[in-house]
Amino acid sequence: MNTQLEQTLQVGEKKQLPFITYIGLYLALALPGIFVMVSGQIKPGWVLSEIFFWSLTLLILVIVVLYERQPLSSIGLGKLTWRSVAWGIGAGLVLFVLFGLLQGLVKLIGLPISTSAAKQIGEMPVWGIFLLALRAGVMEEVLFRGYPFERLLTLTGSKAVAAIVPLLVFIITHLSWGLGHLIFVTAAGGLITLLYLWKRNLWINIIAHFLVDFIAFMMIPLLLAK
């Protein structure tokens, strides 16, 4: 039996979504930014922040499966294949090269980067950096790419709107890292959004995002030493 959402999920057609999906869009696009702003004042700590973001990601997945009654493939999480892994690794390496190039540009023109956040990550053990990069890859791709893109595309019928709105939210949630890091976030976010538009496979995005973050985070002590 088709649910209301199943009847509306036709690419390129402007449709009305069930109310639960609007709640999902609010949770995905508004709540992370609100948490980032509030956490700057209350400083909840790394563990509580991770619990919050993992819980929010899980909640979105629960909404998709139990309330929208859709498969996870409706937000790009289809079957994970070796081909997806290969694409993800390749895309992650490309993004890391971009990170290196933009890092050099940022230092050349003297744009500010948040050294406090970088130092906090640089002091983490390897397992902590791994978990942080994993959370960033999974959470940000589910909340800022797969879920909002697919649902906004159904709502508006516009790929441009569905891609740009989550991208802007993604950029805004990284403002505290400083203008220098924001250049990389904007460039990488734009490229990984285009990658999702092309492949519509969120596993590729997650793997690429995790890989570039993990390598970059591991290099922070070296970057701070320069």
Q: Which residues contact 29 (CB under 8 A, 6 or more apart)?
A: 143, 144, 148, 165, 166, 169
Identify residue 76 by its one-letter amino acid code: G
DSSP code per residue over 160-222: HHHHHHHHHHHHHTTGGG-HHHHHHHHHHHHHHHHHHHHH--HHHHHHHHHHHHHHHHHTHHH
Looking at residue 175, its pLDDT comes to 82
Residue 26: burial class (beta carbons within 10 Å; 0-12, 13-18, 19+): exposed
Looking at residue 171, its pLDDT comes to 93
Number of domains forming the structure of the chain: 1
Alpha helix (H) ranges present in the chain?
Answer: 4-8, 19-29, 31-42, 46-62, 82-109, 115-122, 126-141, 147-156, 159-172, 179-199, 202-218, 220-225
| Pick from 76, 36, 114: nearest CA to 208 | 76
Predicted model pTM: 0.89
> Helix (H, G, I), strand (E, B), or coil: what is residue 72?
helix
Looking at residue 9, its pLDDT comes to 47
Q: How many whole angstroms separate alpha carbon 164 and alpha carbon 166?
A: 6
Q: What is the pLDDT along the chain (226 residues), one digit of tens a residue?
A: 344 454 444 444 567 789 999 999 999 999 998 988 887 666 667 788 899 999 999 999 999 999 999 999 999 999 999 999 999 999 999 999 998 888 788 778 877 666 666 777 878 889 989 999 999 999 999 999 999 999 999 999 999 999 999 999 999 988 877 777 788 899 999 999 999 999 999 999 999 999 999 998 888 766 555 5
Per the CB < 8 A criterion, the answer to whether 181 and 113 are in contact is: yes
Q: Say which residue the tokens 């709105």 belong to.
A: 165
**Residue 152 sits in which domain range?**
4-225
Q: Which residues contact 178 (CB under 8 A, 6 or more apart)?
A: 111, 112, 113, 114
Q: How many whole angstroms separate alpha carbon 158 and alpha carbon 22?
A: 17
Mean pLDDT score across all residues of the chain: 87
